Amino acid sequence: MKVVLACLCTCVLLAGADEVAGSFAMPSDDITGLAWGNGYLWAVDTETRILYQINPTSGDVINSFTVAVAANHDITGLAFYNNTLYVGEDYPGSTNSGYIYRYSTTGAFQGSVDVVC
């Protein structure tokens, strides 16, 4: 998991399979989720619980907000669909605890879903 996190600390934009169009540093060191939506890159940090809206050309942070997840749970992923951000989380070491939280692109909480099977 730490290897994946280290790889996500620097975002690389690919123009083609063999050509790097540009790169920039991510706004924090513990990014555990990346998503693309509405022309922006979105990134979430599992330690600070901050979700970033990033300009994909410059790497500048356009906006950021704190996401609320259950205490002692880790953010495990991020998705974007239909103008909504979906933040996945789970309790480390558990197989029966997990939620997906929905947020608007401005940071308004829109609800959660228990995803334990």
Q: Which domain holds residue 101?
A: 2-114
- CATH number of the domain bearing residue 101: 2.130.10.10
Helices (H), 11-115: none
pLDDT on residue 115 = 84
Do residues 26 and 8 touch, judged by C-beta distance below 8 A? Answer: yes
Identify residue 46 by its one-letter amino acid code.
Answer: T
pLDDT on residue 96 = 72
Nearest to 27 by CA among 49, 6, 12, 9: 9
Identify residue 75 by its one-letter amino acid code.
Answer: I
Number of domains in the chain: 1
pLDDT on residue 72 = 85
pTM for the full predicted model = 0.80
pLDDT tens sequence for the chain (117 residues): 333 333 333 444 444 567 887 788 999 999 999 999 999 999 999 999 999 999 999 999 999 999 998 888 899 999 999 999 999 998 887 767 788 999 999 999 999 998 876
pLDDT on residue 17 = 61
